[in-house]
Structure 1
Amino acid sequence: MREFALSDEDFQTISKKVYKACGIVLGPHKREMVYSRLARRIRANQLDSFSSYLKYLDDHEEQEFSQFINAITTNLTSFFRENHHFEYLSQVIVPQLLEKNKHSKRVRIWSAGCSTGEEPYSIAMTIFNRFPSDWDVKILATDLDSNVLSKAQSGVYDSGNVTGLDDEILKKWFLKSADGHAYKVKPALQPLIYFKRLNLLENWPMKGPFDVIFCRNVLIYFDKETKDKLFMGYHQMLGEQRHLFIGHSETMGKEHHEFKNLGRTMYQKV
């Protein structure tokens, strides 16, 4: 027997709230995920059902709504995930930017949906010291979930998060705790990255232009209309012939002629 009742009506209400807030589509196949994640919020608030939680959410929206959204959003990531993107950034894009941006001496990269920070730190490791010291190089890292942003800003990860990284990378970029269970990103990387909470469906306060946008494994949660809006927004934010990376399980429709498909989920603004 279930600990809490989750009616069809309650699930539909939750789905509508999530879609309205952040464009994520919760189909019937997400019901178990919704149950397990929101059950924690029901216990935390000492309630007895999903319907009572939804009433509590309406009555305490200012305090609880961010917790509600944080519970639903998925945060699965790893260092150098889909490593071919970082290889392309290092081998192709950085040399291009050294030439194309030599007058402005400015480089901007956006990690949209940065989760707990593995992606922007991987970007920082890839480009660190690749540009002259008088260049202005910054990585914007945004996410909807304020909890994961706090973890990202701390730069502290347990040993499981760094499993699979070469010893050379661990020695170069991380400080190991005395007990060996935690790793902290070296302070030299952190000034490169600016972390900020951002809902992709709301107005974007930054002006760009960006040289590279990483939006990987974020689009899978949106419907086609929302994806198309985001692709157009990224197009506007990118400089001429600059690059967009999406996740391995994501696709861009052929109708988006404003991007050239480079293969392996890499795109260039036309």
Structure 2
Amino acid sequence: MSTPTLDGLNQARSNRAELPASNGPVLGDADFRFLREFVLQHCGIALGEHKRQLVQGRLLRRLRALGLTEFGSYCERLRSDPEGEMGDLASAISTNVTSFFREVHHYDFVADTLLPQWLQSKRDGGRLRLWSAGCSTGEEPYALAMVLAEVLEKHGSTLDTRILATDLSPQALAVAREGVYSLERMGGVSRERQRRWFLRGEGSFDGLARIHPRLRELVSIQPLNLLHDWPMQGPFDAIFCRNVVIYFDQPTKQKLFRRYAGMLVPGGYLFLGHSESMHGLSDDFELIGRTIYRKRGA
């Protein structure tokens, strides 16, 4: 039998799971240190010391789902199968807050400015490709699909149009694929759009509505970790990455913006969230509106 080292004893002490009757195991120093490094490396999310209680609270639910009684066991699971747990971990520590037509000025800009330009420039053929990067539960790409479908119909256009919607969270993607939402979550959708683009549930499905098949045809939903390889080739005419980079550290943001620039057509557009900025992080884009950026070199 080998003799435990001093480092091993110290780690065991710091990881010891105290079990208060109501709160469950405590996230020790060593496990929290590992989780911070793991999340930064694999998700690009920087967790400060002040996030410890939040991480502990959110991961407790994941431990229970896996039948684990301590955070050390969960860390071992991450070490042995990082990819298998990545989506659930990201879902637990991030906040999937979204809504239909959130930051409506972005959708107005697409409908009133970009789509007329695109229809004119692509009138002799071509295709239109948009990417919702960090689509969460699907409200963003489906709202974009509404705008695209309405404008294309208005102009009688048959332009080949698709929206790629990606996210790391398997739970969020499952909701997006299902395309079923409670009426309470549709506050940003006008009554006219609710009648046109949603199928109301009846009986046991009362209070729910399903996205119209026409919109589902426009949206392709796929899992993707923004920090890993991107299987799609592009190029895209516009990328929506709103309220995503707010979680990332500066080097990760810089790398991501460079990669976005490489995936956009010359003069393509990048939309960020209302509390996000590219200031001092990229020379590939110019600010042209409220968190609306255009790729240089058009």
Q: TM-score range by the shorter chain?
A: over 0.9
Aligned match of 2:225: 199
| Cα distance between partner residues in 2 of 1:177 and 1:90 | 29
The answer to whether the aligner puts 1:176 opposite 2:197 as a matched pair is no
Contact 1:105–1:134 under 8 Å retained in 2: no
| 1:76 counterpart = 2:66 | no
Give 1:53's aligned residue.
74
Partner secondary structure for residue 20 of structure 1: helix
Which among 17, 29, 37 is matched to residue 16 of structure 1? Answer: 37
CA distance in 2, matches of 1:58, 1:172: 48
Aligned length: 270
Structure-2 residue corresponding to 1:153: 177
Which position in structure 1 is the counterpart of 2:275?
A: 249
Amino acid at match of 1:30: K
CA distance in 2, matches of 1:64, 1:164: 33
Q: What amino acid is aligned across from residue 251 of structure 1 in structure 2?
A: S
* TM-score (norm: length of structure 1): 0.93
Q: Does the CA-based 8 Å contact 1:108-1:139 persist in structure 2?
A: yes
SS at match of 1:107: strand
Q: Which residue of 2 aligns with 1:185?
A: 211
Instruction: Quickly say closer, same or farther: Cα 1:9–1:197, change in 2 above 3 A.
Output: same
In structure 2, what is the equivalent of residue 111 of structure 1?
Answer: 132
Q: Deviations over 1:63-122 (max 9, x none)?
A: 544433332232111000000000000000001101122233310000000000000000
Structure 2 CA distance for aligned equivalents of residues 232 and 64 of structure 1: 27
C-alpha distance in 2 between matches for 1:105 and 1:41: 46
Amino acid at match of 2:137: T
Please tell me the root mean square deviation across aligned C-alpha atoms, in Å.
1.8
Asked if 1:35 corresponds to 2:42, the answer is no
**Alignment counterpart, residue 238 of structure 1, candidates 248, 261, 264:** 264
Aligned pair in 2 of structure 1 residues 241, 61: CA closer, same or farther (>3 Å)? closer
Secondary structure of the 2:213 match is coil
Unaligned runs of 5+ in 2: 1-19
Residue 102 of structure 2 contacts residue 188 of structure 2 at CA under 8 Å; is this kept in 1?
A: no
Deviations 1:137-159 (A, max 9, x none): 00000111122111101100122
Asked if residue 25 in structure 1 is aligned to residue 43 in structure 2, the reply is no
Q: Distance in 2 between matches of 1:64 and 1:145?
A: 10
Which structure has the greater CA radius of gyration? 2
Residue 129 of structure 1, CA deviation: 4.3
Where does the alignment leave 5 or more consecutive residues of structure 1 unmatched?
A: none
Equivalent-residue separation in structure 1 for 2:227 and 2:77 (angstroms): 25
Structure 2: distance between partners of 1:62 and 1:232: 24
Q: Which amino acid aligns with 1:142?
A: T
TM-score (norm 2): 0.85
Quick one: which amino acid aligns to residue 195 of structure 2?
Answer: K
Which one-letter code corresponds to 2:38 in the other structure?
K
CA contact (8 A) 2:101 2:188 kept: no
Q: Structure 1: how far apart are the matches of 2:226 and 2:110?
A: 24
In structure 2, relative to structure 1, the CA distance for the partners of 1:60 and 1:204 (3 Å cut) is closer
Which secondary structure state, in structure 2, belongs to the residue aligned with residue 188 of structure 1? helix
Distance 1:30 1:148 in 2: 22
Distance 1:71 1:3 in 2: 17
The aligned residue for residue 244 of structure 2 is: 218
Aligned to 1:258: 284
Match of 2:111 among 83, 90, 113: 90
SS, match of residue 152 in structure 1: helix
When structure 1 is superposed on structure 2, of 5-14 and 107-116 the one drifting more is 5-14
The answer for the alignment partner of 2:12 in structure 1 is none
